[in-house]
Amino acid sequence: MTDFAGALRDEPFAPEVRASTEVYRGAVWSVREDRVRYGDGEIVRQYLDHTGAVAVVAIDEDGNVLLIQQYRHPIRQRDWELPAGLLDMAGEDPMDAARRELAEEADLVAASWEPLLSIYTTPGSNSEIIHLYLATGLSPADVAFDREDEEADILLAWVPLADAVDGVLEGRFRNGILASGVLAAERRRSSPERQHREG
């Protein structure tokens, strides 16, 4: 087996798109159908054409991470998630969008913001990329936001980061963005300790 030693990475690949048609326009995103030259032939693919999104791993001074619970109709569940939202304002910087979402969904502001990671949520069926940020130095926002629809009955919970990771690994939390965020945050927070132990 070849040892790539961290050299593997996703890479751009842009075969010729012979035709691209919007077959459905929704309130939030659209469905697109592309005819793509691939190899010696052609493939046809339909996918959600997504604006992209942001999510926030907000951790307080005691090492607790903020989780929110809200109803998600496609899975018919109230799942636990991170504060998150769409990149649906033209020209908005993703970190500014993350600040906005933390205030809108949790009535919080953060003194410190760091990029954590970016992931494609379901690349076989949609173009969504989500940028996750680590937010610390939390305090209440000056203004509380009015929430409606599924956001009107959001529940908030502060959970020790290690317990959130356990919830992911035990299958109690199955939201992919939550899983990616808390696993990355735990890794980042433990790295200095690990380097010290190994040094």
In this structure, the answer to whether residues 84 and 44 fall within a common structural domain is no
DSSP state string for 52-74: -EEEEEEB-TTSEEEEEEEEEGG
Domain check: are 43 and 134 in the same one? no
Report pLDDT for 129. Answer: 95
Q: Indicate if 4 and 85 belong to the same structural domain.
A: no
- What is the bridge-based pairing of β-strands 155-160 and 64-72? antiparallel
Query: Which one is catalytic: 16, 151, 170, 198?
Result: 151
Binned average pLDDT, 10 residues per bin, the chain of 199 residues: 77 94 91 95 94 96 96 92 91 94 93 97 93 97 68 86 97 97 95 52
Q: Which domain holds residue 16?
A: 1-49
Amino acid 28: pLDDT: 82
- Both 57 and 2 in a single domain? no
Report the distance separating Cα 56 and Cα 82, nearest Å: 6
- The confidence score (pLDDT) of residue 6 equals 75
Number of domains in the chain: 2
Active site residue 42: no
Give the contacts of 2 (CB within 8 A, at least 6 positions apart).
none
pLDDT of res. 121: 93
pLDDT at res. 195: 44
Residue 1's pLDDT is 62
| Same domain, residue pair 180 and 104 | yes
- 41 with 68, same domain: the answer is no
Claim to verify: residue 108 and residue 174 sit in the same structural domain:
yes
List, in sequence order, every residue forming a beta bridge with 136; answer none if it has no partner: 112
User: Is residue 66 domain-shared with residue 155, that is, in the same domain?
Assistant: yes
- Per-residue confidence (pLDDT) for residue 198, from 0 to 100: 41
Token reading at 127: 């173009």
- Examine the domain organization and report whether 82 and 165 are in the same domain: yes
Could you tell me if 25 and 114 lie in one domain?
A: no
